[in-house]
Amino acid sequence: MPELPEVETVVRYLRPRLQGRMLQTVRVSRHRLRQPWRRAWNPAVAGRRIVQLDRRGKWILAKLEPAGTLILHLGMTGRLDVVRADRPMLPHTHVSFGLDTGTEELRFHDPRRFGSIVYSPCDPEAALGEVTDPLGPEPWDLTAQTFHEACRATRRAIKAVLLDQTVLAGVGNIYADESLFEARLHPARCARDLTQAEAARLQRAVVRVLDRAIAQHGSTILTFHYGDGGRGGYQNEFQVYQRTGEPCRRCGAPVVAIRLAGRTTHFCPHCQPATC
């Protein structure tokens, strides 16, 4: 579910509620999350304090004291919330941390269990390296030249490159489609055929789309929520995503959906021509 803007929204919500607080207790459901085989869940997290909460791509990093890091990923349907401890436990709540006062809990809820929570004794940067391939830069830090070089180095479609977290971190299916529309590039264009100017245009489009989405607290389609009922608003500004058959907001031509890189891909065949 959540891509960079949704994860950023969750982190901004959680940061003031978690930074400085002690994880007193840990309760784990018997269901496995995405990556427990990489590193067994370590209840030794109890007694450690969250001193810093950050986002990197779609990953959430909680730096602990005196040492260690919790690395969290929301997968498709993951949700993190700080709630009063006497609130009833929702079904599919897989991890629950008692917070220092004992009156509140941090709960991880994830029906599809594609999300993960992993503990590492290392600092955040090294901990992230243990659970995923090296992430590319945040989209704001990606230079047009680096992006163009990454495009020239592959025969994949440009959309597949946008989804590749080792090229740039944080873009998923929604924002790939929206960014390609913004840049007026066909998603199936061979990445190595992009000119330097087109690569630069696309990088700027990604940043513009993500900035607007973050300002709207992300997109809520079915399940994305943050805090107590908070919902994103960017779904109301989608240009192509999930608008198959509806008129393009720019030219009126019907939006088309194809299958690309294993994902449903939406674009306007008029505004995003297949050729240069």
Interface residues toward DNA, by CB under 7 A: 1-3, 6, 32, 34-35, 57-58, 73, 75-76, 91-92, 111-114, 131-133, 154-157, 160, 163, 165, 172-174, 218-224, 232, 261-264
Q: Is the dihedral of CA 166, 171, 172, 178 positive or negative?
A: negative
Residue 145: CA count within 13 A, CB half-sphere: 0
Least gap, CB of 198 to DNA (angstroms): 18
Q: Distance between CA atoms of 63 and 230, rounded to whole angstroms?
A: 25
Decide if 269 is catalytic: no
Closer to DNA by CB, 51 or 131: give it.
Answer: 131
In this structure, the strands spanning 116-120 and 59-65 are unpaired
Closer residue to DNA, CB minimum distance, 26 or 150: 150
275 contact partners, CB below 8 Å, separation of at least 6: none
Beta carbon nearer to DNA, 32 or 87: 32
The least distance separating DNA from the CB of residue 211, rounded to whole angstroms, comes to 17
**Catalytic residue status for 184:** no
Q: How far is the CB of 107 from DNA (least distance, A)?
A: 16
Mark whether 63 is an active-site residue.
no
Measured distance CA(235)–CA(214) in Å, rounded: 12
Q: Which is nearer to DNA, 98 or 124 (CB)?
A: 124
Task: Provide the minimum distance between the beta carbon of 146 and DNA in the complex, in angstroms, as a whole number.
Answer: 17
Q: Which of 17, 156, 204, 263 is catalytic?
A: 263
Catalytic residue among 34, 48, 58, 243: 58
The rounded radius of gyration (Å) of the Cα atoms in the chain is 20
The residues, ordered by sequence, that sit 6+ positions from 239 with a Cβ below 8 Å of its Cβ are 178, 181, 182, 248, 249, 250, 268
Instruction: Give the list of residues 6+ apart from residue 255 with CB closer than 8 angstroms, or none.
Output: 240, 243, 244, 245, 246, 247, 248, 266, 267, 268
Rank residues 63 and 217 by Cβ distance to DNA and give the closer one: 217
- Residue 14: CB minimum distance to DNA, A: 16
**43 a catalytic residue:** no
Does residue 175 contact residue 239 with C-beta atoms inside 8 Å?
no
Choosing from 3, 104, 105, 178, which is the catalytic residue? 3
Catalytic residues: 2-3, 58, 263
